[in-house]
Amino acid sequence: MKISAYDSSSISTLLSGLGGSKDGNSGLLGINYSDYASIRSGAYGKLLRSYYALDSESGSSKTSSSTETGRKSTAVSKDSTKTIATIEEDAGELADSAKQLYTRSNNAVFTKDAKGNYDTDKIYDKVSDYVEDYNAFLVSAAKSDTGRIASGVDSVKNITKANVDALKEIGISVNEKNGALTISKDTFKAADMSKVKDVFYGTSSYAYSVATQASLVKSYAESEAVKSNTYGSTARYNYNYNSGDIFADAF
Protein backbone atom coordinates (compact mmCIF):
# COMPACT_ATOMS: atom_id res chain seq x y z
CA MET A 1 0.00 0.00 0.00
CA LYS A 2 1.24 3.48 -0.84
CA ILE A 3 0.22 6.67 0.99
CA SER A 4 0.98 9.77 -1.06
CA ALA A 5 4.77 9.97 -1.38
CA TYR A 6 5.32 7.22 1.20
CA ASP A 7 5.24 3.49 0.59
CA SER A 8 5.37 0.55 3.03
CA SER A 9 9.16 0.51 2.90
CA SER A 10 9.51 4.16 3.85
CA ILE A 11 6.98 3.72 6.65
CA SER A 12 9.03 0.87 8.11
CA THR A 13 12.15 3.03 7.91
CA LEU A 14 10.43 5.92 9.69
CA LEU A 15 9.10 3.81 12.53
CA SER A 16 12.19 1.66 13.00
CA GLY A 17 14.02 4.60 14.55
CA LEU A 18 11.51 5.05 17.34
CA GLY A 19 13.18 2.84 19.89
CA GLY A 20 13.75 2.93 23.62
CA SER A 21 15.94 5.51 25.31
CA LYS A 22 19.57 4.59 25.68
CA ASP A 23 20.74 7.80 27.28
CA GLY A 24 17.95 8.22 29.83
CA ASN A 25 16.46 11.12 27.85
CA SER A 26 12.87 10.09 28.52
CA GLY A 27 9.89 11.89 29.99
CA LEU A 28 6.17 11.41 30.57
CA LEU A 29 5.05 7.77 30.23
CA GLY A 30 8.64 6.77 29.30
CA ILE A 31 8.49 8.56 25.93
CA ASN A 32 11.89 9.43 24.51
CA TYR A 33 12.08 13.18 23.82
CA SER A 34 13.78 12.60 20.49
CA ASP A 35 11.01 10.22 19.49
CA TYR A 36 8.48 12.77 20.67
CA ALA A 37 10.00 15.48 18.47
CA SER A 38 9.95 13.12 15.49
CA ILE A 39 6.30 12.28 16.03
CA ARG A 40 5.24 15.83 16.80
CA SER A 41 6.91 17.74 13.98
CA GLY A 42 9.13 15.32 12.13
CA ALA A 43 8.67 12.69 9.46
CA TYR A 44 6.00 10.73 11.27
CA GLY A 45 3.82 13.79 11.65
CA LYS A 46 4.29 14.57 7.97
CA LEU A 47 3.35 11.01 7.13
CA LEU A 48 0.09 11.30 9.07
CA ARG A 49 -0.75 14.65 7.53
CA SER A 50 -0.07 13.23 4.08
CA TYR A 51 -2.27 10.26 4.85
CA TYR A 52 -5.22 12.35 5.97
CA ALA A 53 -4.77 14.87 3.16
CA LEU A 54 -4.93 12.06 0.62
CA ASP A 55 -8.00 10.67 2.31
CA SER A 56 -9.63 14.12 2.33
CA GLU A 57 -8.86 14.70 -1.34
CA SER A 58 -10.44 11.40 -2.29
CA GLY A 59 -13.62 12.46 -0.50
CA SER A 60 -13.67 9.55 1.94
CA SER A 61 -14.73 9.96 5.56
CA LYS A 62 -12.67 9.03 8.61
CA THR A 63 -15.85 8.11 10.43
CA SER A 64 -16.62 5.26 8.04
CA SER A 65 -15.62 1.70 8.85
CA SER A 66 -13.67 1.29 5.60
CA THR A 67 -12.78 2.95 2.31
CA GLU A 68 -12.91 1.84 -1.30
CA THR A 69 -9.30 0.70 -1.06
CA GLY A 70 -10.10 -1.47 1.93
CA ARG A 71 -8.21 0.75 4.42
CA LYS A 72 -9.94 0.50 7.80
CA SER A 73 -10.75 3.46 10.01
CA THR A 74 -12.23 3.84 13.51
CA ALA A 75 -15.40 5.92 13.94
CA VAL A 76 -15.65 8.57 16.63
CA SER A 77 -18.46 8.43 19.17
CA LYS A 78 -21.19 11.09 19.00
CA ASP A 79 -21.17 11.34 22.78
CA SER A 80 -18.61 12.87 25.13
CA THR A 81 -16.37 10.88 27.44
CA LYS A 82 -18.35 12.01 30.49
CA THR A 83 -21.72 11.14 28.95
CA ILE A 84 -20.62 7.66 27.89
CA ALA A 85 -18.98 6.91 31.24
CA THR A 86 -22.08 8.00 33.18
CA ILE A 87 -24.44 5.99 30.99
CA GLU A 88 -22.26 2.91 31.31
CA GLU A 89 -22.19 3.23 35.09
CA ASP A 90 -25.91 3.97 35.51
CA ALA A 91 -26.96 1.19 33.14
CA GLY A 92 -24.82 -1.26 35.08
CA GLU A 93 -26.28 -0.14 38.42
CA LEU A 94 -29.84 -0.47 37.10
CA ALA A 95 -29.13 -3.99 35.86
CA ASP A 96 -27.63 -4.89 39.25
CA SER A 97 -30.49 -3.49 41.32
CA ALA A 98 -33.01 -5.27 39.11
CA LYS A 99 -31.05 -8.50 39.53
CA GLN A 100 -31.33 -8.14 43.30
CA LEU A 101 -35.08 -8.40 42.84
CA TYR A 102 -35.49 -11.09 40.17
CA THR A 103 -32.72 -13.46 41.27
CA ARG A 104 -33.55 -16.95 42.52
CA SER A 105 -30.43 -17.26 44.66
CA ASN A 106 -30.40 -18.22 48.34
CA ASN A 107 -30.35 -14.51 49.23
CA ALA A 108 -33.48 -13.77 47.22
CA VAL A 109 -35.41 -10.72 48.43
CA PHE A 110 -38.70 -12.56 48.29
CA THR A 111 -37.72 -15.45 50.57
CA LYS A 112 -40.29 -16.01 53.35
CA ASP A 113 -39.32 -16.40 56.99
CA ALA A 114 -40.11 -19.41 59.22
CA LYS A 115 -43.64 -18.12 59.73
CA GLY A 116 -44.29 -17.80 56.01
CA ASN A 117 -44.08 -14.00 55.91
CA TYR A 118 -42.19 -11.71 53.56
CA ASP A 119 -39.72 -9.15 54.89
CA THR A 120 -41.67 -6.08 53.74
CA ASP A 121 -39.00 -3.59 54.83
CA LYS A 122 -36.30 -5.46 52.94
CA ILE A 123 -38.42 -5.68 49.81
CA TYR A 124 -39.27 -1.98 49.99
CA ASP A 125 -35.61 -1.00 50.36
CA LYS A 126 -34.58 -3.06 47.33
CA VAL A 127 -37.43 -1.75 45.18
CA SER A 128 -36.61 1.82 46.26
CA ASP A 129 -33.02 1.25 45.16
CA TYR A 130 -34.33 0.00 41.84
CA VAL A 131 -36.53 3.09 41.38
CA GLU A 132 -33.60 5.40 42.18
CA ASP A 133 -31.27 3.61 39.75
CA TYR A 134 -33.97 3.51 37.09
CA ASN A 135 -34.49 7.26 37.23
CA ALA A 136 -30.74 7.99 37.24
CA PHE A 137 -30.38 5.81 34.15
CA LEU A 138 -33.11 7.72 32.30
CA VAL A 139 -31.49 11.07 33.09
CA SER A 140 -28.00 10.12 31.95
CA ALA A 141 -29.11 8.14 28.88
CA ALA A 142 -31.31 11.02 27.71
CA LYS A 143 -28.10 12.98 27.03
CA SER A 144 -26.86 10.47 24.46
CA ASP A 145 -26.90 11.14 20.71
CA THR A 146 -26.08 7.54 19.90
CA GLY A 147 -28.92 5.79 18.09
CA ARG A 148 -28.73 2.35 19.65
CA ILE A 149 -28.40 3.76 23.16
CA ALA A 150 -31.54 5.86 22.57
CA SER A 151 -33.26 2.76 21.18
CA GLY A 152 -32.30 0.78 24.28
CA VAL A 153 -33.73 3.48 26.55
CA ASP A 154 -36.97 3.46 24.56
CA SER A 155 -37.17 -0.30 25.06
CA VAL A 156 -36.80 0.14 28.83
CA LYS A 157 -39.56 2.75 28.86
CA ASN A 158 -41.83 0.54 26.75
CA ILE A 159 -41.33 -2.38 29.13
CA THR A 160 -42.30 -0.14 32.03
CA LYS A 161 -45.27 1.24 30.12
CA ALA A 162 -46.52 -2.30 29.48
CA ASN A 163 -46.44 -2.91 33.25
CA VAL A 164 -47.85 0.45 34.35
CA ASP A 165 -51.05 -1.00 35.83
CA ALA A 166 -49.24 -3.69 37.82
CA LEU A 167 -46.78 -1.10 39.11
CA LYS A 168 -49.54 1.31 40.07
CA GLU A 169 -51.27 -1.40 42.07
CA ILE A 170 -48.23 -1.78 44.32
CA GLY A 171 -47.64 1.95 44.77
CA ILE A 172 -45.28 2.78 41.89
CA SER A 173 -46.38 5.45 39.41
CA VAL A 174 -44.89 6.32 36.02
CA ASN A 175 -44.44 9.91 34.88
CA GLU A 176 -46.13 10.25 31.49
CA LYS A 177 -43.71 12.92 30.27
CA ASN A 178 -40.27 11.54 31.11
CA GLY A 179 -40.99 7.98 32.19
CA ALA A 180 -39.55 8.44 35.70
CA LEU A 181 -40.80 6.23 38.54
CA THR A 182 -42.17 7.35 41.90
CA ILE A 183 -42.76 4.96 44.79
CA SER A 184 -45.25 5.61 47.60
CA LYS A 185 -43.87 4.00 50.76
CA ASP A 186 -47.22 3.67 52.50
CA THR A 187 -49.02 2.27 49.46
CA PHE A 188 -46.19 -0.12 48.71
CA LYS A 189 -45.94 -1.52 52.22
CA ALA A 190 -49.69 -1.96 52.38
CA ALA A 191 -49.71 -3.87 49.10
CA ASP A 192 -49.93 -7.62 48.71
CA MET A 193 -46.29 -8.74 48.61
CA SER A 194 -47.19 -11.68 46.41
CA LYS A 195 -48.23 -9.14 43.74
CA VAL A 196 -44.95 -7.28 44.22
CA LYS A 197 -43.19 -10.58 43.73
CA ASP A 198 -45.10 -11.20 40.50
CA VAL A 199 -43.79 -7.89 39.15
CA PHE A 200 -40.15 -8.19 40.17
CA TYR A 201 -39.24 -11.83 40.77
CA GLY A 202 -38.04 -14.43 38.27
CA THR A 203 -36.77 -14.49 34.69
CA SER A 204 -40.21 -13.76 33.25
CA SER A 205 -40.65 -10.65 35.42
CA TYR A 206 -40.67 -6.95 34.66
CA ALA A 207 -37.39 -6.52 36.55
CA TYR A 208 -35.64 -9.17 34.46
CA SER A 209 -36.77 -7.55 31.20
CA VAL A 210 -35.48 -4.16 32.31
CA ALA A 211 -32.19 -5.67 33.49
CA THR A 212 -31.70 -7.30 30.09
CA GLN A 213 -32.17 -4.02 28.22
CA ALA A 214 -30.05 -2.08 30.71
CA SER A 215 -27.24 -4.58 30.19
CA LEU A 216 -27.48 -4.04 26.44
CA VAL A 217 -27.26 -0.27 26.87
CA LYS A 218 -24.20 -0.76 29.09
CA SER A 219 -22.66 -2.84 26.31
CA TYR A 220 -23.48 -0.16 23.74
CA ALA A 221 -21.84 2.49 25.95
CA GLU A 222 -18.73 0.35 26.27
CA SER A 223 -18.55 0.06 22.49
CA GLU A 224 -18.92 3.82 22.07
CA ALA A 225 -16.16 4.40 24.59
CA VAL A 226 -13.55 2.64 22.47
CA LYS A 227 -14.63 3.93 19.07
CA SER A 228 -12.09 6.73 18.86
CA ASN A 229 -9.09 4.66 19.91
CA THR A 230 -6.91 5.97 17.06
CA TYR A 231 -4.55 8.69 15.93
CA GLY A 232 -6.12 11.73 14.33
CA SER A 233 -5.06 13.94 11.42
CA THR A 234 -3.14 16.24 13.77
CA ALA A 235 -1.08 13.33 15.14
CA ARG A 236 -3.05 13.47 18.41
CA TYR A 237 -4.15 10.27 20.12
CA ASN A 238 -7.91 10.17 20.51
CA TYR A 239 -9.62 7.97 23.10
CA ASN A 240 -12.87 8.50 24.92
CA TYR A 241 -11.71 7.17 28.29
CA ASN A 242 -9.82 9.58 30.53
CA SER A 243 -6.61 7.54 30.23
CA GLY A 244 -6.52 8.48 26.55
CA ASP A 245 -6.41 12.15 27.42
CA ILE A 246 -2.94 11.58 28.83
CA PHE A 247 -1.69 10.49 25.40
CA ALA A 248 -3.54 13.31 23.63
CA ASP A 249 -2.00 15.90 25.94
CA ALA A 250 1.45 14.42 25.41
CA PHE A 251 1.16 14.96 21.67
Query: What pLDDT sits at residue 75?
Result: 55
Q: Which residues pair with 72 in a beta bridge?
A: 66
Lowest mean pLDDT among 13-17, 121-125, 183-187: 13-17
Average pLDDT over residues 165-181: 97
Q: Is the pLDDT of residue 86 over 90?
A: yes
Average pLDDT over residues 20-30: 51
Query: What pLDDT sits at residue 242?
Result: 42
Query: What pLDDT sits at residue 41?
Result: 58
Lowest mean pLDDT among 6-20, 173-187, 212-226: 6-20
Query: What pLDDT sits at residue 246?
Result: 35
Q: Is the pLDDT of residue 247 over 50?
A: no
Q: Convert the pLDDT of each residue in 129-167 to its tens digit.
A: 999 999 999 999 999 989 999 999 999 999 999 999 999
d(C-alpha 107, C-alpha 143), whole Å = 35
Query: What pLDDT sits at residue 105?
Result: 75
d(C-alpha 217, C-alpha 88), whole Å = 7
CA distances, 95 to each of 136, 148, 171, 204 (Å): 12, 17, 21, 15
pLDDT band of residue 251 (cuts 50, 70, 90) is very low
Average pLDDT over residues 4-28: 51
Lowest mean pLDDT among 45-54, 170-179, 192-201, 215-224: 45-54
pLDDT band of residue 30 (cuts 50, 70, 90) is low
d(C-alpha 100, C-alpha 115), whole Å = 23
Mean pLDDT across the chain: 76
CB 110 within 8 A of CB 123: yes
d(C-alpha 58, C-alpha 53), whole Å = 9
Query: What pLDDT sits at residue 227?
Result: 75
C-beta neighbour count of 136 within 10 angstroms: 17
Average pLDDT over residues 4-22: 50
Query: What pLDDT sits at residue 107?
Result: 73
Query: What pLDDT sits at residue 249?
Result: 37
The DSSP-derived string for the chain is -EETTEEHHHHHHHHHT----SSS-B-GGG-BHHHHHHHHHSHHHHHHHHHHHHHHHTT--TTSSB-TT--B-PPPPSS-HHHHHHHHHHHHHHHHHHHHHH--STT-TT---TTS---HHHHHHHHHHHHHHHHHHHHHHTT---HHHHHHHHHHHHHHHHTHHHHHHTTEEE-TTT--EEE-HHHHHHS-HHHHHHHHSSTTSHHHHHHHHHHHHHHHHHHHHTTT-EE-TTSPEE-SSHHHHHHHHH-
d(C-alpha 130, C-alpha 163), whole Å = 15
CB 181 within 8 A of CB 164: no
